[in-house]
Structure 1
């Protein structure tokens, strides 16, 4: 069991109160023991034990890039704000959905109960690229010099995926839309009714998780007309 499985269990509430307390203590001891070991921040993005995992590529994401899904697999259980993570990718085509988040301290007096920071978050973005085995990639993007620049960047955020040395650009991000997700997630044309319904439900859940607030409102209006 990896450290991320422990975090996912705690986050989902799957452990009983007594078990949670013991796991939290064990987790604290583990962090204190290993410090900043890179093994704590490497997330596998596949199920099972595929043979290609032995030559997995790596995508390095800084704390300001929060990856939500890779190849349709939910990564949100592993999210910890402002923590840089490495994602292990199987060689071949990969699809990575993420958001950009930047935090700026407010100037002047802050009223009671008011947040002390400005938080700017982009709409979901997606990058698709062919990962080569044993290759390390990273996100590359401009760094804002002011709060106004940070706000503008969040609205029109663009990042590229490059090799770790920055010499080769392999992909550029674009806006992620639920419509694209639905088109890229085929539903079986035949088979048991329960299986088809399950596939459609999984697709709807996937789309909903990446939809903007306006898109969710528009869907609900359509659904209840």
Structure 2
């Protein structure tokens, strides 16, 4: 949930009744955000009840960092715009895939139907690090001071994972690319894929191997929307 939803709700109405209704809706949204914050403030990233969960580490992600997967597990169900979240990590090696998203208000007059904000989102990034028992980590990255800086940052975004006091860097992000096996299955002649002998995974591998960089970026954007 974004602060822009609240701003929309608080926009003056044409009557006192309309203003009162918007105030009630906005108040309800605030309560909902508070409730979401309390129930989703620490997201477990494993299945079942592993013994190591009792000493899980914590990764703190600000609203600008949207974590999509951890150790292959989909975190999309927990994504909420502009809401900081804490992720509980089992001790040991962890892989975190995320994107960076920043929102800037547009200056000047905005025409009807046009978005009132600029939204800049990075390509998927990944950090891999060894989480220690009961340790707390956080993302660290530069803060843009202008819209142009924000746009540039989204294109070449780099973040580090540090201990909560910022004294130790444990990982630096890099561009995430899905792993593709070296023994790729060739695409059948005529461009037909998905035959009875070809599994969906093998088809994806072969298509990925022949895709251009722009096609790969477009696919990654679609996969993480």
With the shorter chain as reference, the TM-score category is: 0.5 to 0.7
Q: Say how many residue pairs are matched.
A: 175
Give the secondary structure class of the aligned counterpart of 1:87. strand
Query: Aligned equivalents of 2:77 and 2:56: distance in 1?
Result: 21
Number of the residue aligned with 1:136: 136
Give the secondary structure class of the aligned counterpart of 1:63. coil
Q: Map 1:11-26; keep pairs closer than 5 Å.
A: none
Query: Aligned equivalents of 1:41 and 1:47: distance in 2?
Result: 18
Offset, 1:180: 5.9
Query: Aligned equivalents of 2:202 and 2:50: distance in 1?
Result: 23
Number of the residue aligned with 1:46: 46
CA contact (8 A) 1:138 1:163 kept: yes
Query: Aligned equivalents of 1:72 and 1:143: distance in 2?
Result: 29
Query: Aligned equivalents of 1:161 and 1:40: distance in 2?
Result: 21
Query: Aligned equivalents of 1:162 and 1:59: distance in 2?
Result: 9
The structure that is helix-richer by fraction is: 1
Number of the residue aligned with 1:102: 102
Unaligned runs of at least 5 residues, structure 1: 1-27, 184-196, 220-225
Number of the residue aligned with 2:73: 73
What do residues 86-126 of structure 1 show as CA deviations (whole Å, max 9, x unaligned)? 00000000000000000000000001000000000000000
Q: Map 1:1-225; keep pairs closer than 5 Å.
A: 35=35, 38-179=38-179, 201=201, 214-216=214-216
CA contact (8 A) 2:158 2:173 kept: yes
> Relative to 1, partners in 2 of residues 1:181 and 1:130: Cα closer, same or farther, differing over 3 Å?
farther
Offset, 1:177: 1.1
CA contact (8 A) 1:123 1:212 kept: no
Query: Aligned equivalents of 2:153 and 2:93: distance in 1?
Result: 28
Query: Aligned equivalents of 1:107 and 1:218: distance in 2?
Result: 29
Q: What TM-score do the two structures reach when normalised by structure 2?
A: 0.68
Number of the residue aligned with 1:189: none
Q: Higher Cα Rg: structure 1 or 2? A: 2
Query: Aligned equivalents of 1:103 and 1:47: distance in 2?
Result: 33
CA contact (8 A) 1:182 1:203 kept: no
Give the secondary structure class of the aligned counterpart of 1:66. strand
Query: Aligned equivalents of 2:157 and 2:108: distance in 1?
Result: 28
Query: Aligned equivalents of 1:140 and 1:212: distance in 2?
Result: 32
